[in-house]
Amino acid sequence: MANHSTTTSQSRFQQHHFVDADQQFDAAKMGMWIFLVTEILMFGGLFAAYIVYRLWYPELFVMASEQLDTFWGGVNTVVLIGSSLTVAMAIKSAQLNQKKNISINLLITLALAAVFMVIKYFEWTHKFDLGIFPGKFYAFEGIDHPKANVFFSLYYLMTGLHGIHVIIGMGLMTWLLVRSSKRHFNSEYYSPIEITGLYWHLVDIIWIFLFPLFYLID
Amino acid sequence: MSTQETNLKKIQVQRYEPESDPDKHYLNEETGLWAWMTTVDHKKIGIMFLGSVTFFFFVGGILALLVRTELWTPAKTFIEANTYNQLFTLHGAIMVFLFLVPSVPAALGNFILPLQLGAKDVAFPRLNLMSFYLYLIGAVIAIVSILTGGIDTGWTFYTPYSSTTGGAVTLMVFGVFIIGFSSILTGVNFITTIHKLRAPGLTWDKLSLFSWSLYATSVIQILATPVLAITLALIGMERILGIGIFDPALGGDPVLFQHFFWFYSHPAVYIMIVPGFGIVSEVISTFSKKHIFGYWAIALSSLAIAFIGFLVWGHHMFVSGQASLASMVFSFLTFLVGIPTGIKMFNWTATLYKGSIQLASPLLYIFGFFFLFLVGGITGIVLGSIALNVHLHDTYYVVAHFHFVMVGGMVMAFLAGIHYWWPKITGRLYNETLAKIACGIIFIGFNVTFLPQFVMGSLGMPRRYFNYIDQFQIYHQISTIGSYILGIGFVMIFYYLIKSIYTGKKASPNPWGSRALEWQINSRPPLHNFHHTPVIINGPYDYHKPMDEFQLGLAESGGNGHGTDIDVSSPEETAKGE
Amino acid sequence: MDALNDLLLPPAKSTLAQNTDSLFWFVHLSGLALTIGLIGVIIYFVVKYRRKSDDEVTPLITHNNKLEVTWSVIPLIIVLIIFGWGYQVFMEQRVAPDDAYEVNVTGQKWIWQFTYENGARTNGELHVPAGRPVKLIMNSSDVIHSFYVPDYRIKQDVLPGRYTEVWFNAPEPGESNVFCTEYCGTSHSDMMAKVIVHEEEEFQSWLAENSGGGSKPEDLAPAEWGEQLAQEWACTTCHSTDGSDMTGPTWQGLFEHEVPLSDGSTVTADENYIRESILEPGAKVVDGFPNVMNTYQGQLSDEQINAIIEYIKTLN
């Protein structure tokens, strides 16, 4: 922030209703923080359902968790943490005015997100092959528990909602890449990268909660 | 106070006289359908919201009249039980999700908030437009779901009924899900706007109480709405995939749904009523020409209501089978939330003391609000008491209670707000006599409709009943007659307000002599609100200062009206400090 | 006061109803006092401080801490009293005495069923002894219902997959209405029942008479008994006998006639079809009607089903 607080001229991306670029940057950042609060509460509803069912059927969660592949889940965790790092580096590059590095870092982030989704895809299809479908379509016989379908309903819902967020994040990253290749960003103006980065960190953090809650139960 | 004085000297204030009949204003710059549809002007978006909520208010109102007509006789009057069930469901869902929630924040709030902050727009104008379109899309989906099978679950969508019944419930919850995002975006926008876009000198203690109430409302919107969204998504999933979170047949728990649902829907009633409180503060102070009594008590009680409001959802579930201990805690907290509401009532009353009271129509609506909301609030205390709740839960007593709060409170406040800001929005004055008559008709019609419902409720008449025992017929008939009177009142308001746009007298910039910022600019504000960035010296309720002195407070700004180089430092710092 | 009581509250027919009523009046009367007081003050101010000229200047009164504290603390004390009182009455309502007489209640669309200790069963009528605490153990077989007796000031949701309880003690013989107060679909408002309170001996003999649960009374023809059963089991909530369409198809002119089904085929409504429709309602759904009927498998005996079929035959 310090390096653009002295700006007096209006940047080409400053909107008419802001007094200066600083105000616009602060507002954008604050808006995103508030939006992230709503995201947390939205996932919070599912986490609450998770807690309730885990308290009711602790043994089910231990049994069902064994069907999830801890190795690939762990790989995905590393992949997402890596992508959080690269998005932070993209912001840093913008602050340092290294325009080429912005694009490179965004590209790596996008690639890591894609790797995450591919692994997720194989995890899900493997379960479908076993007959582990959500809800009433559940047809797997390997778990001896009448409510086994509820565990996997929660699993699909929570990883599914998280997956949708990853896909939205990939869309945003693509948009940033396009703008970055048009040289829109510099050390004076990079709030889209900053706020997308915030969003991406949240997606990452939610996965860091989901991973132990589903994969690491014993 | 001394720092204020020193600031005053630094500012180069210039007297700014608003024109009473401006050539250019927000309505005649950028005209045409396309300009409206793509506008990012908060005023136009506010008007589009106002038009939409009015439309849905009348749709919901007609449904209500059909419901009341059917209840004229104890058995079938003119429609089948299934149709009746769909009608009351739609009445509830349309009124709650398409009218009450967006009415004050998205319609009036959008128009007024930036004006009261001295800002040129809300923080994210494009997001604001998106919020409007999300609302429209959600509304269209809701209407399609009505036409393609209907919904008969009640607006509360209780499981397992909602996950097993026929009709277009899945589509409907999807529509409400989308509308929820519209509400969240408005909340995000308003909080950011209030934090970041206040004009120089507009410190937190000079923020209008309407803005404070919108702030509290937005906090509830962003915290509660996502939980509703995920709950409704779960119902959809339950119906499509049978995920079994709520359906006991699949291993779920129906009471869990009620917890989720009321975690949103109780705070949601504060989304509906708290902005109304803001309007009351503005109108009372303006029409008694007096500084508001207990500014901080009113401002902070809104926030207190917002926060305690999150902890009381279980009072909808005293007879649901939840643990007695939980019921006790929820009952206790429910009584606590009554206190800040009471404090507001007392402060407003005290504001009238030694005032200069002008009984103009906005104030009459507020007095209507006072009585009806007081009754609604006290019956809320009755319902908060567990033992009484056991008897009264899901009877007409509850129906009457929330109509007193929502229609008697919120709609009366909304109407007061419409009448108060109408000259600012349209630049025209409406027919004051008709306005007073309509206010009287609504007040009488409302009481005739809903007072008998308290009686039959405490006598044991359950809600959502198509047939009822003969003993209750007289109360139902009085109530039905009242609902028609009420309907006439609303149509009358619609008539004279629309008429005023074409034939009304031109409004001066400040017809009520208010000290609030939005009245210090032209009626029909300019496209970007302020030609000069205002520097705020006086508070919005400083009625003890003469009007002439009051208008000093608009600083000279950089030529294009976009104010980039203001010659003040410290007030601006304070303004941005928080 | 008694007249006022009758205007606003149903007769108090249980031992605890009076406690609820005292609290009811305490809250309402103190609320009324507050309303009159506050509205009175407002009217006084409006009259006294009415605007006389347009350039009146009002004094600056921003706040008054003493006043603020007063009107926060006094209401707080009052609501805490109401809270404590309400909680105490509620706990009395909740905790059933150990010696309570137990009856099982099942709610299903749209009928209340009661099962007694000796296997006696009733539909739509709950028979209880006077002057003894009665505990109801309730369960739903479909959606959520709610068991509400205004005269006793009790209400409790009835949930699928879980038992809930409610108790009362009615000292005097008499009858009271039972309503369903949780919206449960088309005929929600017809899901009513009666509590019939008998003197102890009368109750015992009633119980003994009905111990078998549902064999044909001696003095009735099968069709007459069928008509009685159709009332009792709430068949007539959904099936009219006069040709009008309700939730389900009418019974008038049904027997031995062609019925169009939702899959496009038709079927003749003979004994087998009607029997199947009672025991397995979803198997053949009549075109134009929702598939909402519950099975009566295990509830109606063969003899009872035959009687209902006999009754339907008489409606041609």
Write down the pLDDT at residue B140. Answer: 94
Average pLDDT taken over every residue of chain C: 87
**pLDDT confidence of residue B448:** 96
pLDDT at C240 over 80: yes
Look at residue C297 and tell me whether its pLDDT is greater than 80: no
- Of residues A110 and C292, more confidently modeled: A110
Tell me, yes or no, if B229 comes closer than 8 A to chain A by beta carbon.
Answer: yes
The minimum CA-CA distance between A38 and chain B, rounded to whole Å, is: 5
Q: Which among B134, B414, B396, B161 has a CA at the least distance from the CA of B273?
A: B414
Q: How far apart are CA C75 and CA B268, in angstroms?
A: 25
Optimal mutation site among B371, B388, B549, interface C, most CBs of chain C within 10 A: B388
> Which of B343, B384, B544 has its CB closest to that of C59?
B544
Residues of chain B contacting C23 with CB distance shorter than 8 Å = 385, 387-388
Cβ neighbours around B446 below 10 Å, total: 24
Rounded to an integer, the average pLDDT of B249-273 is: 88
pLDDT surpasses 70 at C284: yes
The closest alpha carbon to B348, from C75, C76, C46, belongs to C46
pLDDT given at position A136: 76
Tell whether the model's pLDDT for residue C178 goes beyond 80.
yes
Q: Taking residues B131-152, what's their average pLDDT? A: 90
The 3-state secondary structure of B4-51 reads HHHHHHHCCEEECCCCCCCCCCCCCCCCCHHHHHCCCCHHHHHHHHHH
**Mean of the per-residue pLDDT values of chain A:** 86
Residues of chain C neighbouring B160 (CB-CB closer than 8 A): 142-144, 160
Query: B288 and chain C: CB distance < 8 Å anywhere?
Result: yes
* Residues in a beta bridge with C114: C105, C122
Chains A and B touch (3+ CB pairs under 8 A): yes
Q: In angstroms, rounded to a whole number, what is the distance separating the alpha carbons of residues B212 and C74?
A: 26
Mutant choice from A1, A6, A16, A17 vs B, greatest count of B C-beta within 10 A: A17
Task: Tell me what percent of the residues of chain B surpass a pLDDT of 90.
Answer: 62
Chain C residues closer than 8 Å to B166 by CB? 290, 292
Q: How confident is the model at residue A99 (pLDDT cuts 50, 70, 90)?
A: confident
Distance from CA of B60 to the nearest CA of A (A): 29
- Report the run of H or E that residue B550 belongs to, with start and end: helix B547-550
| pLDDT at position A101 over 70 | yes
Beta carbons of C185 and B165 less than 8 Å apart: yes
Those chains having 3 or more beta-carbon pairs within 8 angstroms of chain A are B
pLDDT at position C218:
67
Among candidate residues C145, C30, C6, C13, the one with its CA nearest the CA of residue C80: C30
Cβ pair B226:A38 closer than 8 A: yes
User: Treating both helix axes as pointing N-terminal to C-terminal, what angle do B361-384 and B254-287 enclose, rounded to 10 degrees?
Assistant: 150
Q: Which residue did the predictor score with more confidence, B500 or C245?
A: B500
Residues 404-433 of B with CB under 8 A from A: none
Would the pLDDT of B571 be above 50?
A: no
Q: Are A150 and B251 in contact (CB under 8 A)?
A: yes
Q: In the predicted model, what is the mean pLDDT of chain B?
A: 87
Q: Are B532 and B557 in contact (CB under 8 A)?
A: yes
| Contact yes or no for B381/C27 (Cβ under 8 A) | yes
Is B254 in contact with C144 (Cβ distance < 8 A)? yes
- Distance of alpha carbon B281 from its chain centroid, rounded? 14
C290 to chain B: which residues are within 8 Å by CB?
166
Give Cβ neighbours of residue B278 (< 8 Å, ≥ 6 apart): B104, B208, B209, B210, B211, B212, B213, B214, B302
- Residue A75 is predicted with a pLDDT of 92
Asked whether residue B285 carries a pLDDT value surpassing 60, the answer given is: yes
Do the Cβ atoms of B411 and B490 come closer than 8 Å? no
Domains of chain A and any CATH numbers: 32-215 (1.20.120.80)
Bridge-based pairing of strands C121-123 and C125-129 is unpaired
Q: Tell whether the model's pLDDT for residue B324 goes beyond 50.
A: yes
Instruction: Single out the residue of C111, C153, A81, A34 nearest to residue B385, CA to CA.
Output: C153
B223: nearest CA partner in chain A = A38
The answer to whether the Cβ–Cβ distance between B230 and A154 falls below 8 Å is: no
At B232, list the tokens. 């409704």
**Overall residue count recorded for chain C in this entry:** 316
Question: What are the C-alpha distances in Å from A51 to residues A46, A67, A211, B242, B397?
Answer: 9, 19, 15, 20, 36
The three-state secondary structure class of B167 is coil
d(CA C238, CA C110): 9
pLDDT in tens, B345-359: 999 999 999 999 999
Burial class (CB in 10 A: 0-12, 13-18, 19+), A8: exposed
The pLDDT tens digits of the residues spanning C98-148 come to 889 999 999 988 889 998 888 788 888 999 999 999 999 999 988 999 999
Output the pLDDT for position B23: 78
Question: C touches which chains (3+ CB pairs under 8 A)?
Answer: B
What Å distances lie between residue A188 and A7, B463, B577, CA to CA? 8, 61, 22
Q: What pLDDT score was predicted for residue B573? A: 39
For B144, the 3-state DSSP assignment is helix
**Dihedral angle sign, alpha carbons of residues C94, C100, C102, C108:** negative
The residue-averaged pLDDT of A110-129 equals 91
How confident is the model over B329-385, as pLDDT tens digits?
999 999 999 999 999 999 999 999 999 999 999 999 999 999 999 999 999 999 999
pLDDT at A129: 86
pLDDT at C243: 81
ipTM above 0.85, yes or no: yes
CA distance B357 to chain C (A): 5
- Judging contacts by C-beta atoms under 8 Å, the chain B residues touching residue C144 are 158, 160-161, 254
Does the distance separating the beta carbons of B350 and C161 come in below 8 Å? no
What's the one-letter identity of residue C299?
Answer: Q
